[in-house]
Amino acid sequence: MRDTRPTAPTAPSRRRYRRGDESGAALVEFALVIGLFMLVLYGLISYGMIMATKQRVTNAASEAARSAVGEANDADAITVATARVNSLLSGSAGKYTPVVTTEPCAGVIPPSPPTSCVKVKITWDWKNHPVVPPAPLLSGLTPDNIISEAQVQYK
């Protein structure tokens, strides 16, 4: 006589994976690719901010040199140009260093009457004051300083 009573439940059987089962493969591939994608995206943003800062510094140097046009003497030209740099780059104190000098204009033919040029050089300390924080793998690819110069004949 056979026993037809239900038997006690046994331990759940483990799911057996077939050799061709690819469930979860997309998630693994996404995990491998997302890191590289984020690094490239951050590199593009970082490079864009470097270029925007370079453009801002170049514009400030050009505007400062042009603002000195018409000044009567070297001291006034230097004062006006320095003030213009500081007004254009306001809010960024300590991140840049302006150097404004006056000198005889080179390459002016004929050189009489003597002409004077104002030269504005701005150095932005990108290494210590980046606009965006550097990524660990991209820190060696960013510049230490962003330098821009402009020279204008002012008298």
- Is residue 18 one of the residues assigned to a domain? no
- Is residue 17 one of the residues assigned to a domain? no
- Is residue 9 one of the residues assigned to a domain? no
Count of the separate structural domains present in the chain: 1
- Is residue 16 one of the residues assigned to a domain? no
**φ/ψ of residue 9, rounded to 5:** -65, 140
How far CA 137 is from CA of 6, 73, 133, in Å, comes to: 64, 50, 12
Range of the domain at 68: 26-153
| Reported pTM | 0.75
Q: Given this model, what pLDDT does residue 11 score?
A: 58
- Is residue 7 one of the residues assigned to a domain? no
- Residues 38 and 124 sit within 8 Å (Cβ to Cβ): no
SS3 91: coil
How far CA 7 is from CA of 3, 4, 26, 131, in Å, comes to: 10, 9, 41, 71
Nearest to 46 by CA among 127, 133, 128: 133
- Residues 132 and 46 sit within 8 Å (Cβ to Cβ): yes
- Is residue 10 one of the residues assigned to a domain? no
Sign of the alpha-carbon torsion through 104, 108, 111, 114:
negative
DSSP state, residue 94: T
Each of the 155 residues of the chain gets a pLDDT tens digit; together they read 666 666 666 655 566 656 666 778 888 899 989 988 998 898 899 899 999 999 999 999 999 999 999 888 889 999 999 999 999 998 887 899 999 999 888 775 665 677 888 999 999 999 898 888 887 777 788 889 999 999 998 87
- Tokens 């003497």 identify what position? 73
- Is residue 74 one of the residues assigned to a domain? yes
Q: Given this model, what pLDDT does residue 16 score?
A: 60
Q: Given this model, what pLDDT does residue 94 score?
A: 84
- Is residue 37 one of the residues assigned to a domain? yes
